[in-house]
Chain A
Amino acid sequence: MRDSGQLWRKMTLCSMGLLAILLGSSCTPLRGTGDLGVVVERADGSLQVLENSHNSLLASVPGLGDLSHATALFSRDGRYAYICGRDGGLSKVDLLTYQVVNRVIQSGNSIGGAISQDGRWLAVANYTPGGVRIFDTETLEMKLDLPAMGADGKLSKVVGLEDAPGQAFVFSLFEAGEIWMVDVSDIAQAKVHKWTNAGAQPYDGLVTPDGHYYVAGLFGEDGMTLLDLWNPEKGIRRILQGYGRGQEKLPVYKMPHLEGWAVAGTQIFLPAVGHHEVIVADMQTWKEVAHIPVHSQPVFAMARPDGRQVWVNFAHPDNDTIQVIDVPSLKVIKQFRPGKGVMHMEFTPKGEEVWISLRDENRVEVYRTDNFSRVATLPAKSPSGIFFSSRAHKIGL
């Protein structure tokens, strides 16, 4: 009797222990994804999942292929990151389990993407073969294939693909110099509008945060092309023409990026091409208000979410430097050199901090935006893009 009682007690103890181990390992505490994001480690083809509440890296997700120039998009629920790589791979990564839950090879060479207003469709822009492919965000099943055959009868590289209001995607054709808009309200009968003669060699595009305008930057001429998304029937028009005003064009060692908002109040900040300037335009008139001389060829001009500052980084060989423009005075108020290979800057959702990737230093740094002090340094292999899940809820990102 005594023996069996002891045995019984031992067994309960044992099973309780087992249960504790099981529970401990399988149930991590619940958490949201609003403060999560990813750092692209482009040399290794991996991602680091990060959180920006305490500034730490949570896990590494390997096996994503060639990630040069990779962009990340986020599902509407904020749980998944979609990564479009240069090798045409499209991967869906779970930010909570750090697993690649789905991966398809969708094309030879992709450059970026966008998610539709309702979160259902993911469009990917491709260089080769030039065109746009649209996928179901849940299954990654391809729903639409849109070769970018320009009026010149050739396939063009697609650049500046953005989501727009009214279930649309807008993008530009690099060689053909066209802007296209595809309406996917009914994916089976998607409607495409095309604007030809949209300018020489558009290299990137942006949609303003209110979803009102699409702006395509032009490499082949000093100027930009504007499409009013609220009144597309009015067509496109050229803005900021001749912004270089006869100055000799300087070599551009890296193409500027427009995606990433540079809208502050009623003004928009745009990197000039071939000029060491940031152009400031008024968004009501689309006329130039100022041009701010900067350190070198600007790559990104990104507004802090409150629009009070614009942070600018630069092309090779000056990619070790950052300048901060104060919006009310339109003056550069801070210049500093975080290190070699500044690739990307990403603001926390309310803008009190900014994450900076330093490709050649193999690290990511976090700065306060009020006093520019560094608050964290984190190791990452050849980091390029940094993307926060808060992008999920913004149009044109």
Chain B
Amino acid sequence: MEKREFIIFSGHSFRLGLVSLMVNVRENCRIIRFFLILIMIYSLTRCRQFFARFIFSALLFGAVCTFPSALFALDTLRQQELLHLLRQDCGSCHGLRLLGGLGPPLTVSALQDKPKEYLEMVILNGVPERAMPPWKGLLTQEEITWLAERLLEGVAE
């Protein structure tokens, strides 16, 4: 909830509007998924024929599992690209090992008191008048969230 507000407040562009919509959709997905599961349980109790019941539930289960993640999860290839970006391109200012350079260190200990939302905001919008550029034109909200999570848990060498 907080996050959504923050995104709407911090951004002015149409793009950001879209981003916040996506966040909404993602949350709505949970509700959709919940209803799908209810329907599945209901149909299971209703369906007489074992085989049909089996197929039906398997299909539903598949849909429930893949629908949201297929839409939103970053595939492993993209994750690797992002890790490369983090070390190399963020690294051009923060150091290849993120130990600091022109920009401050981005190690777990350096970031321990900083909330994920703060990191996301800084990466999304940059720091005005400072050398930290906004990445919103190059990365999606989803990717930025993923990067912030990696930073907080520590990026393995």
Give A residues with C-beta under 8 Å from B: 42-43, 66-69, 86-87, 109, 111, 127-128, 157, 159, 174, 201, 203, 219-220, 251-255, 316-317, 341, 359-360, 382
Contact = CB atoms under 8 A, between A and B. Distances in A.
Interface string B88-120: 110111011101111000000000000000000
Interface of B is mostly: loop
Given A316-B89, A317-B138, A109 B99 contact: yes
B75 interface: no
Nearest to B98: A68
Interface of A is mostly: loop
A182 to B, nearest CB: 22
B92 A254 contact: yes
B129 to A, nearest CB: 7
Contact of B133 (A43, A109, A253, A341): A253
Contact of A253 (B84, B89, B101): B89
A69 B92 contact: yes
Nearest to B136: A251
Given A69-B101, A86-B101, A157-B102, A341 B88 contact: yes
Given A43-B96, A253-B89, A253-B133, A360 B84 contact: yes
B96 A252 contact: no
B101 A252 contact: no
A252 B99 contact: no
Q: Give the residue among A69, A201, A220 with the most B Cβ atoms within 10 A.
A: A69
A87 B138 CA distance: 29
A42 B96 contact: yes
B102 A174 contact: yes
Given A66-B99, A68-B101, A359-B88, A255 B129 contact: no
Contacts of B133: 251-253
B126 interface: yes
Contacts of B89: 253-254, 316
A66 B101 CA distance: 12
B118 to A, nearest CB: 19
B131 interface: yes
B62 interface: no
B11 interface: no
A359 B88 CA distance: 9
Contacts of B126: 251
Nearest to B93: A255
A254 to B, nearest CB: 5
Contacts of B85: 316
